[in-house]
Each structure stands twice: as C-alpha cells, then as structure tokens.
Amino acid sequence: MTQKIAVVPCDGAGKEVVPEAVKVLKAAGAPFEYESFQVDADSYIKTGVAITDEVWKELQAADSILFGAVGDPRVPDPKYLAGVLLRLRFELDLYVNLRPARLYDERLSPLRREDRRKVDLLVVRENTEGLYVGMGGRFKKGTEDEIATQEDINTYRGVTRILEHAFGLAEREVVMVDKSNAMTYAGGLWQERWKAVAARHADIKTRHLFVDAAAMQLVKDPSQFDVIVTGNLFGDILSDLTAELIGGMGIAPSANINPTSGRGLFEPVHGTAPDIAGKGLVNPIGAILSAGMMVEHLGHHEMAVAIEAAVESAIRAGECTRDLGGSLSTSEAGDAVVKRLKD
Ligand code: IPM
Ligand code: MN
C-alpha cells in the first residue's frame, strides 16, 4: 500500500533541503505518494492565514508530513510560527520529539579526546507542553509598569507519557533532565512521575541531571549518554548543543510523532538559515536523515538503515557541503547520497 506524504518545505533553507530528501526517498524506492503544499511566509503575507482549512485537512489526512523549516525575516509576528509548526505539533498531538545525535565521522567532532567521540545519543523532548503553549499575557503593555508572564504547563499525563516513551527507546540508560531545584512545582511533578515510571522499568539504568549539569556533561563527555528525556524548552536547547557535537546544525534530524495515532512530522533541526538560504549552500543531510526517520516510522526499517548508511558513506568520503568540510552544493550533496543508494 502506498503511503501518502505531505511535503511542506515552508521557508528559506527548507525549500532547498526538502527536495533533496524527496530525491533520496525516491532513490531508496520508498512506496510513497507525495503531495506538496505551499505553506510559507509569502502566502501568509498575502492572505494573513498561516495554513488554510483546506490544506489543514490534507495535512491531517496524510500518513506523515515531511517538513522543512519555518520563519522569514519579513514576518517577525510570532503568530505565523505558532500557526504553522507549533499548531501542527499541538493539534496533531505529536508529543514525542526525537532528536538523535550520532557522530558519522570523527573529523566532524569538536571533542579533543578520541575516547569521547563515540556520540550516539537520543534527546527525547516533550513537544506539546511546557513554556511553548502560549499561555500568559502582558499587563500594562507598552508602559514602564508592564508585567509579562509565560506559563510553564506540565501535566500528569503529558509528563508520564513522554517518560514512558523514553524508556521504550533506551538500550542502556535514561537520563531525565529538569531544573527541579529551582522550579519546584513543575520540577516536583516531573520528579514524582520520573520515580513512578522508572520503577516500572527496573531493567534500564536511570540517572537524573539538572539541565545546567546536563549541558556541562554533554560537552565534557557526550559518549556517556544513551537517551535523555526532558521538557519542551530544555529539549530545544540541548538538541542544538548535541547537533553541534556531531558536526553542526546542518546534519541533525528530528521526528515529531504521536506513537498512538501514528501521526508524524519529520523536519531537520536547523531553521530557515536566511543568511545562506537560496544559494545552494545549505546542507541537506538533516532533512535526508529526517526523511530516514520517517521511513522507519512508517515501517520500512531496511530502507531507513540504507538511507543512513548512504549518508554516512557520503560524509566519510567528504562528499558533502562546506559546513561538513566538503565542497558540494546542496543538490550535489543530495546526489552523493542518491548515488550510494543506487549502487
Ligand atoms: C526547533 C525550533 C522550534 C522550537 C522553533 C522554530 C519554534 O527551534 O524545532 O527546535 O523551538 O521548537
Ligand atoms: Mn530549536
């Protein structure tokens, strides 16, 4: 049965990297039917609507969404971002955000010590709650007496389900990251649910770190980590750090999924890169690896393994974009992966 993929390159670098990911999926022989949707800043500026009802229905009905990146310097209005990516994550209830960091070639590592370069970890980020829900307000706005609040929402169900999911993905250990020493209400709930869920998985080692210590340990020796589970904001921040450990933002993939409904949205961790977008300089690997995660999620395990192996081989051969030490353009870097899938 062919699966329906909604292709949403969106803005900036997204428009360059998503076609490369589709090219790789086609070369891998993925049994997908693709439909592209124009959700971007151009149409938002013209119509004031981030996603039309008609497109929304199609996105909802698709088996998965392959997403690029959202944002445009012409649209500083946070409503646009909230109406695209955050709406998709929240309304499709894609509560698990998987952000793996695997070092494909040692030359890409900023770590001086060789024994610390075996980076192969997974950040499991809660994706539908926390400080991202947009609750709060501004009082006496625009005056010197202004007060702004931003509520950090943590629910029993939301915390429990992300912790449970993390245990399902761990081989060795789950590290839970919070800031419960300073943020005691939210942290208290996380701590209680953590202890309860950990007790149900006695076969997996567990450890707790405060987020500041986690950042320090990730730089000191990332090879110690297997699965890190954390809330929305800390997951966002730590996954930029882990991206840098494996060669930079251009290489890091992500999956936004709901394990119960099966819905998923797959996007590179990098943003729209307005400084280099449109010049063929953007690295397509983050998008290609995200497409690989989509393939895995849709049940084509061997194809996913083949895509990742092709990426690794292209990187090791230096057939990649400048940010990874190569000299290829975006589409040539995509071709380097395709060539390996065809051999
Ligand atoms: C990411 C991005 C988004 C986030 C932004 C664009 C809202 O940084 O996917 O990591 O913070 O989740
Ligand atoms: Mn981010």
Using alpha carbons only, how large is the chain's radius of gyration in Å?
Answer: 20
Distance 236 CA to ligand 1 centre (A): 7
Q: Is the CB of 236 under 6 A from ligand 1?
A: yes
Which atom from ligand 1 is nearest to the alpha carbon of 232?
12
Which atom from ligand 1 is nearest to the alpha carbon of 236?
10
Distance 265 CA to ligand 1 centre (A): 13
Rounded to the nearest angstrom, the gap between the alpha carbon of residue 28 and the centroid of all alpha carbons in its chain is 22
DSSP-derived 3-state class of residue 35: strand
Q: Is the CB of 241 under 6 A from ligand 1?
A: no
Q: In the structure encoding, which two tokens stand for residue 139, read together? A: 């009082």
Candidates 239, 316, 264, 214; CA nearest to 94 is 264
Which atom from ligand 1 is nearest to the alpha carbon of 233?
11
- Amino acid found at 4: K
Pocket-testing residue among 10, 39, 67, 85, ligand 1, by greatest number of atoms within 8 A of Cβ? 85
Contact by Cβ (8 Å): 134, 149: no
Which atom from ligand 1 is nearest to the alpha carbon of 267?
9
Q: Is the CB of 72 under 6 A from ligand 1?
A: no
Distance 197 CA to ligand 2 centre (A): 27
Q: Is the CB of 81 under 6 A from ligand 1?
A: yes
Q: What is the pLDDT of residue 67?
A: 98
Q: Is the CB of 126 under 6 A from ligand 1?
A: no
Q: Which positions are annotated as active-site residues?
A: 132, 179, 212, 236, 240
Q: How far apart are CA 49 and CA 104, in angstroms?
A: 40
DSSP-derived 3-state class of residue 253: strand
Rounded to the nearest angstrom, the gap between the alpha carbon of residue 134 and the centroid of all alpha carbons in its chain is 20
Q: Where are the alpha helices (DSSP H) in 137-231?
A: 156-169, 184-199, 211-220
Which atom from ligand 1 is nearest to the alpha carbon of 239?
10
Pocket-testing residue among 123, 230, 236, ligand 1, by greatest number of atoms within 8 A of Cβ? 236
* Residues lower than pLDDT 70 in the chain: none
Cβ-based neighbours of 305, under 8 Å, separated by 6 or more: none
Of all protein residues, whose CA lies closest to atom 10 belonging to ligand 1? 236
Q: Interhelix angle for 184-199 vs 156-169, to 10°? A: 50
Q: Is the CB of 153 under 6 A from ligand 1?
A: no
Distance 298 CA to ligand 2 centre (A): 24
Of all protein residues, whose CA lies closest to atom 4 belonging to ligand 1? 236
Please give the model's pTM, rounded to 2 decimal places.
Answer: 0.96
DSSP-derived 3-state class of residue 108: helix
Q: What is the pLDDT of residue 343?
A: 77
Distance 229 CA to ligand 1 centre (A): 17
Q: How far apart are CA 203 and CA 82, in angstroms?
A: 39
Distance 111 CA to ligand 2 centre (A): 22
Q: What is the pLDDT of residues 275-288, one digit of tens each?
A: 999 999 999 999 99
